[in-house]
């Protein structure tokens, strides 16, 4: 397992000189540091909540400011994560094509870039949205970098369970951007994302478990057999679906949302149980097919939050 001394020196290790690259390569590298696909998912849990909080279509300027601020905040956290994890990213198939392992951007430049995005995002949200949303985005950023990346990720199999809290904040930010306050409604949606994160991430980690094992990151699929990973995915999936249905009585949504949540949840549970059944008695990933569940989880969350957005617009 990686020692504490190795982790502490992750930011101080000497950096090779960045390789020569075209302007296009450099721009693409900086964009890559922000992990655009992660940002897409985060925004997908922000904007629909704004529609729900507004009871319809929110003010366009507010949506733009929230999206810009949220994008910069998430990009900041991702860039800082890339700086700290550059030592293991170089050794993993899934991440070795990132900007820092390829030395297109130096660690110092990426650090400055990440910090600058964090400052700008806080200013944007504080000035054009509100201070509560700005504080929540800053808290999510700090939690992801300081708690998940620097403390949990390399030390515990529960890393993604608790580290995933950072990815739940966009639901709170979307709500507070419109209302200026918190309530139980965004807390329920926060919890949905919290219970969604382990099935989503463990399915991906199962696919790349050898990568994580090679760099001593104790993701659950590294330390537990595939059947146990799948069993826990099923448990979290049931809790996730049950939590999603809580929004109906808590927010008095009408019938459209609970029907959509029930159908989407049933489909996801079927896929989770199928993976569990495939995982029993084999460690062959070609038979377990964890990426099926990973892609299903993305589709589930996307459609569930679309249902959240449409709920106040559909007369049921």
| pLDDT tens, residue by residue, 233-258 | 999 999 999 999 999 999 989 899 99
Does 258 reside within a domain? Answer: yes
Is 314 found in the same domain as 212? yes
Question: Band of the pLDDT at 8, cuts 50, 70, 90?
Answer: very low
3-state secondary structure of 116: helix
Closest to 258 in 3D by CA, of 269, 270, 244? 244
| Residue 129's CATH number | 1.10.357
Q: Are residues 196 and 299 in the same domain?
A: yes
Q: CA 11 to CA 107: how far, in whole Å?
A: 8
* Integer CA distances (angstroms), 151 to 4, 81, 85, 147, 180, in order: 10, 12, 12, 5, 32
Whether the predicted pLDDT of 230 surpasses 90: yes
Domain boundary among 158, 192, 207: 158
Q: With respect to residue 42, please indicate whether it lies within any of the assigned structural domains.
A: yes
* Structural domain boundaries enclosing 215: 183-316
172 occurs within a structural domain: no
**Would you say residue 82 lies in a domain?**
yes
Residue that is last in its domain, among 142, 158, 174: 158
How many structural domains comprise the chain? 2
- Read off the tokens for 316: 């049921």
Average pLDDT over residues 287-306: 96
Q: Are residues 235 and 308 in the same domain?
A: yes
**The pLDDT of residue 314:** 86
Of 158, 192, 219, the residue at which a domain comes to its end is 158
pLDDT band of 3, cuts 50, 70, 90: very low
Q: Is residue 201 situated within a structural domain?
A: yes
Q: What is the pLDDT of residue 60?
A: 95
142 and 222 inside one domain = no
pLDDT of residue 292: 96
Contact indicator for 103, 159 with CB cutoff of 8 Å = no
Q: Is residue 109 located within the same domain as residue 75?
A: yes
* pLDDT score, position 287: 93
Inside any domain, residue 14? no
Closest CA to 166 of 181, 154, 177, 150: 150
| Pair (198, 294) in one structural domain | yes
Q: Do 236 and 151 have their domain in common?
A: no
How far apart are the C-alpha atoms of 58 and 136, rounded to whole Å?
A: 20
pTM of the model: 0.90
In a shared domain, residues 305 and 202: yes
Instruction: Identify the three-state secondary structure at position 107.
Output: helix
Q: Based on the domain organization, do 277 and 313 belong to the same domain?
A: yes
- Sign for the pseudo-dihedral over CA of 260, 162, 64, 25: negative
Give φ, ψ of 314 to 5 degrees. Answer: -95, 120
CA distances from 225 to 150, 228, 275 (A): 26, 5, 13
Same domain, 145 and 211: no
Within a domain: 132: yes
Residue 115 sits in the same domain as residue 210: no
**Per-residue confidence (pLDDT) for residue 4, from 0 to 100:** 43
Do 105 and 153 reside in the same domain of the chain? yes
- Establish if 99 belongs to a structural domain: yes
């Amino acid at each position: 397992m990686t020692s504490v001394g190795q982790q502490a020196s992750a930011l101080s290790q000497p950096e090779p000189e960045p390789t020569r690259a075209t302007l296009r390569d450099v721009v693409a590298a900086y964009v890559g540091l922000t992990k655009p696909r992660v940002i897409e998912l985060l925004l997908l849990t922000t904007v629909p909540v704004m529609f729900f909080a507004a009871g319809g279509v929110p003010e366009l300027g507010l949506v733009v400011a929230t999206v810009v601020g949220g994008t910069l905040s998430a990009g900041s956290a991702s860039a800082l994560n890339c700086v700290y994890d550059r030592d293991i990213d170089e050794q993993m198939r899934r991440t070795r094509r990132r900007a820092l392992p390829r030395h297109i951007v130096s660690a110092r430049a990426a650090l400055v870039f990440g910090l600058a995005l964090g400052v700008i995002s806080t200013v944007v949200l504080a000035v054009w949205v509100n201070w509560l949303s700005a504080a929540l985005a800053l808290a999510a950023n700090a939690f992801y970098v300081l708690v998940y990346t620097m403390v949990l990720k390399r030390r515990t199999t529960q890393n993604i369970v608790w580290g995933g809290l950072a990815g739940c904040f966009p639901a709170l930010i979307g709500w507070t951007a419109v209302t200026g306050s918190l309530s139980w409604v965004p807390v329920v949606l926060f919890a949905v994302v919290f219970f969604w994160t382990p099935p989503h991430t463990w399915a991906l980690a199962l696919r790349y478990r050898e990568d994580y094992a090679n760099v001593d990151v104790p993701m659950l699929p590294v330390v537990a057999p595939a059947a146990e990973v799948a069993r826990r995915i099923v448990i979290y999936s049931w809790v996730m679906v049950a939590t999603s249905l809580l929004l109906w009585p808590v927010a008095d949504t009408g019938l459209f949302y609970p029907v959509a949540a029930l159908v989407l949840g049933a489909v996801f549970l079927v896929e989770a149980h199928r993976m569990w059944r495939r995982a029993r008695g084999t460690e062959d990933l070609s038979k377990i097919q964890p990426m099926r569940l990973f892609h299903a989880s993305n589709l589930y969350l996307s459609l569930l939050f679309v249902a959240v957005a449409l709920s106040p617009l559909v007369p049921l």
